[in-house]
Protein backbone atom coordinates (compact mmCIF):
# COMPACT_ATOMS: atom_id res chain seq x y z
CA UNK A 1 0.00 0.00 0.00
CA UNK A 2 1.22 3.47 -0.83
CA UNK A 3 1.64 5.49 2.35
CA UNK A 4 1.57 9.26 2.38
CA UNK A 5 0.85 11.72 5.16
CA UNK A 6 -2.91 11.35 4.72
CA UNK A 7 -2.65 7.57 5.11
CA UNK A 8 -0.44 7.98 8.18
CA UNK A 9 -3.09 10.20 9.77
CA UNK A 10 -5.78 7.64 8.91
CA UNK A 11 -3.65 4.85 10.37
CA UNK A 12 -3.14 6.83 13.57
CA UNK A 13 -6.91 7.38 13.90
CA UNK A 14 -7.66 3.70 13.29
CA UNK A 15 -5.04 2.68 15.86
CA UNK A 16 -6.66 5.02 18.38
CA UNK A 17 -10.10 3.46 17.79
CA UNK A 18 -8.66 -0.04 18.16
CA UNK A 19 -6.81 0.90 21.34
CA UNK A 20 -9.91 2.57 22.81
CA UNK A 21 -11.91 -0.60 22.18
CA UNK A 22 -9.30 -2.71 24.01
CA UNK A 23 -9.15 -0.24 26.91
CA UNK A 24 -12.94 -0.37 27.25
CA UNK A 25 -12.97 -4.17 27.24
CA UNK A 26 -10.21 -4.67 29.79
CA UNK A 27 -10.72 -3.88 33.45
CA UNK A 28 -7.32 -5.14 34.56
CA UNK A 29 -3.93 -4.99 32.89
CA UNK A 30 -3.96 -4.38 29.17
CA UNK A 31 -2.89 -7.23 26.87
CA UNK A 32 0.79 -7.39 25.91
CA UNK A 33 0.15 -6.53 22.26
CA UNK A 34 -1.45 -3.21 23.26
CA UNK A 35 1.92 -1.58 23.92
CA UNK A 36 2.96 -2.07 20.29
CA UNK A 37 -0.17 -0.33 19.03
CA UNK A 38 0.49 2.49 21.49
CA UNK A 39 4.08 2.75 20.28
CA UNK A 40 2.93 2.90 16.66
CA UNK A 41 0.43 5.65 17.39
CA UNK A 42 2.94 7.65 19.42
CA UNK A 43 5.58 7.31 16.70
CA UNK A 44 3.14 8.60 14.08
CA UNK A 45 2.27 11.55 16.30
CA UNK A 46 5.98 12.30 16.80
CA UNK A 47 6.51 12.09 13.05
CA UNK A 48 3.97 14.86 12.53
CA UNK A 49 5.06 16.95 15.54
CA UNK A 50 8.63 16.97 14.24
CA UNK A 51 7.48 17.90 10.74
CA UNK A 52 9.26 14.90 9.29
CA UNK A 53 9.03 14.11 5.59
CA UNK A 54 11.08 10.92 5.36
CA UNK A 55 8.19 8.47 5.13
CA UNK A 56 10.32 5.76 3.43
CA UNK A 57 12.66 5.74 6.44
CA UNK A 58 9.76 5.73 8.89
CA UNK A 59 7.73 2.83 7.45
CA UNK A 60 10.10 0.05 8.63
CA UNK A 61 9.53 1.25 12.21
CA UNK A 62 5.77 0.82 11.82
CA UNK A 63 6.20 -2.57 10.17
CA UNK A 64 8.49 -3.71 13.01
CA UNK A 65 5.89 -2.79 15.63
CA UNK A 66 3.01 -4.33 13.66
CA UNK A 67 4.96 -7.56 13.42
CA UNK A 68 5.79 -7.42 17.15
CA UNK A 69 2.10 -7.02 17.98
CA UNK A 70 1.63 -10.50 16.51
CA UNK A 71 4.26 -12.25 18.66
CA UNK A 72 3.42 -15.89 19.31
CA UNK A 73 1.32 -16.56 22.44
CA UNK A 74 1.01 -12.88 23.48
CA UNK A 75 0.04 -11.31 20.17
CA UNK A 76 -3.21 -9.84 19.04
CA UNK A 77 -4.06 -13.02 17.12
CA UNK A 78 -4.48 -14.82 20.48
CA UNK A 79 -6.74 -12.18 22.00
CA UNK A 80 -10.14 -13.67 22.76
CA UNK A 81 -12.72 -11.30 24.18
CA UNK A 82 -15.11 -14.14 24.99
CA UNK A 83 -12.49 -15.97 27.05
CA UNK A 84 -12.13 -13.08 29.50
CA UNK A 85 -15.75 -11.93 29.19
CA UNK A 86 -17.89 -15.05 28.56
CA UNK A 87 -21.13 -13.08 28.88
CA UNK A 88 -20.08 -10.46 26.34
CA UNK A 89 -22.12 -9.96 23.22
CA UNK A 90 -20.59 -12.05 20.37
CA UNK A 91 -20.84 -8.98 18.17
CA UNK A 92 -17.97 -7.47 20.17
CA UNK A 93 -15.65 -10.09 18.69
CA UNK A 94 -16.73 -9.05 15.22
CA UNK A 95 -16.28 -5.40 16.10
CA UNK A 96 -12.75 -6.11 17.32
CA UNK A 97 -11.95 -8.08 14.17
CA UNK A 98 -13.20 -5.20 12.04
CA UNK A 99 -11.10 -2.63 13.93
CA UNK A 100 -8.04 -4.86 13.66
CA UNK A 101 -8.65 -5.35 9.96
CA UNK A 102 -8.89 -1.59 9.46
CA UNK A 103 -5.35 -1.26 10.83
CA UNK A 104 -4.05 -4.44 9.22
CA UNK A 105 -4.93 -3.36 5.70
CA UNK A 106 -2.02 -0.93 5.81
CA UNK A 107 0.38 -3.83 6.27
CA UNK A 108 -1.01 -6.27 3.67
CA UNK A 109 0.86 -7.63 0.69
CA UNK A 110 4.38 -7.25 1.91
CA UNK A 111 6.17 -4.02 2.47
CA UNK A 112 4.57 -0.63 2.60
CA UNK A 113 5.63 1.92 0.04
CA UNK A 114 5.92 5.63 0.50
CA UNK A 115 3.56 7.54 -1.74
CA UNK A 116 5.04 10.32 -3.77
CA UNK A 117 3.89 13.58 -2.26
CA UNK A 118 2.67 15.69 -5.16
CA UNK A 119 3.06 19.42 -5.17
CA UNK A 120 0.82 21.60 -7.35
CA UNK A 121 3.65 22.34 -9.77
CA UNK A 122 5.40 18.99 -9.68
CA UNK A 123 5.18 18.62 -13.45
CA UNK A 124 7.16 21.84 -14.10
Encode pLDDT of 18-53 as tens digits.
Answer: 999 999 999 889 999 999 999 999 999 999 999 999
> What is the rounded CA–CA span in Å between residue 101 and residue 107?
10
- Per the CB < 8 A criterion, the answer to whether 112 and 4 are in contact is no
Best CA proximity match to 38, nearest among 53, 23, 27, 57:
23
The per-residue pLDDT for 115 is: 61
> What is the rounded CA–CA span in Å between residue 85 and residue 43?
31
**Whole-model pTM?**
0.85
Amino acid sequence: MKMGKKELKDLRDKLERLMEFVRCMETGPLPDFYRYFDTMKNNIELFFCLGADDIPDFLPVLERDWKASHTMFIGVQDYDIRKEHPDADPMLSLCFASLLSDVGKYFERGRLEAAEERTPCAHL
